[in-house]
Structure 1
Amino acid sequence: MDADRHIAPPLDGDFVELAVEVFAMLADATRVRLILALSEGEMSVNDLAETVGKPQSAVSQHLAKMRLARMVSTRQEGTRVFYRLENEHARQLVTDAVFQAEHSLGGTPRHHHPAGEAKTP
C-alpha cells in the first residue's frame, strides 16, 4: 500500500531491532528463493522443495523459522500443508534487494528497462 511508504519508522524504537531480525531471517539464499516462489501464490512443501532445488526436510526447517517470524502462514488440506506469504512486505523486501543487487552489476538494471524490453544482465 502506498500509504505505508510515507510513514517513517522511529529510529530509536524497538522496530529498528526487529527490522534487523527480519534482515537476518532473509540473509539466506534458500529463504529468499522461498519468498520469491511464494510470491506466485500458495504452494505445498513438496512443490516448494522442487522449486528451490532443496530437500523437503531442509525446506520444512526454513519454513518453520519463517512461520515463527510471521513471514509465512499455513493451510492444511488433508495431510498436505500449504504455505503462503503472510503479507506483501517480505516479497517487497526481497524484490527490492534483488533490484539493488542488479545495480551492483553495472549498466542499466533490468528493472529500469521498459516492459517488454527487459534485458538480462
Structure 2
Amino acid sequence: MTQPDQLINEAAKIYKVLSNSTRIKILYYLRHHNGEVDVKTIVNDLSLAQPVVSKQLGILRRYQLVCSRKVGTRVFYILDDPHIVQLTDDMIEHVKHEIKGEPHPKNLYQVHQ
C-alpha cells in the first residue's frame, strides 16, 4: 500500500468516528471549556448516561481526538486535535447551506481549474 493510500484509509477511520452525533456533541462541549473537564461534568451538562459518555470518550481517545488525565478516581478530558473541530465546523456550515437552500461560498475547485 502506498503512503497516500494509508493516509486515505486512516482519514476514513476518523470520518467513521465522527459519524456519531454523541461524539460530535462531546467534542463541541470540550471545545467550549477552558481546560480539562471530568466525566461527571460532561454527563451532567450533556444529560447523557455515564456509560455512554465513557464509551464515546474511549473511542475519541483511541483515535487521539481527546486526551485524558486521571486524578484519583476522576478522569479529565481535553481536546487533543483542534483540526477535528474545524473539520466538523466546516461540515456543519455545509449542512446549513443545504438545509437553507442557500448557495455555498465561491467554489474554490472551479476557481483553480
Q: Do they fold alike, i.e. is TM over 0.5? A: yes
2:30 paired residue number: 38
SS in 1 for 2:53: helix
Gaps of 5+ in 2: 106-113
1:106 and 2:100 matched:
yes
1:117 paired residue number: none
Q: Distance in 2 between matches of 1:87 and 1:39?
A: 10
Q: Which amino acid aligns with 1:103?
A: H
CA contact (8 A) 1:30 1:52 kept: no
CA contact (8 A) 1:46 1:56 kept: yes
TM-score (norm 2): 0.79
Compute the RMSD of aligned alpha carbons: 2.2
CA contact (8 A) 1:35 1:94 kept: no
- Deviations 1:38-92 (Å, cap 9, x if unpaired)? 1023211111122322101110001011111111101222321110111211211
User: Percent identical across equivalent pairs?
Assistant: 28
Q: Which runs of 4+ in 1 moved over 3 A?
A: none
Q: Which amino acid aligns with 2:40?
A: N
Aligned residues: 101
1:70 and 2:64 matched:
yes
1:17 paired residue number: 9
CA contact (8 A) 2:30 2:79 kept: yes
Q: Distance in 2 between matches of 1:11 and 1:94?
A: 25
SS in 1 for 2:75: strand
Q: Distance in 2 between matches of 1:52 and 1:45?
A: 11
Gaps of 5+ in 1: 1-9, 113-121
CA contact (8 A) 2:67 2:80 kept: yes
1:29 counterpart (21, 35, 40): 21
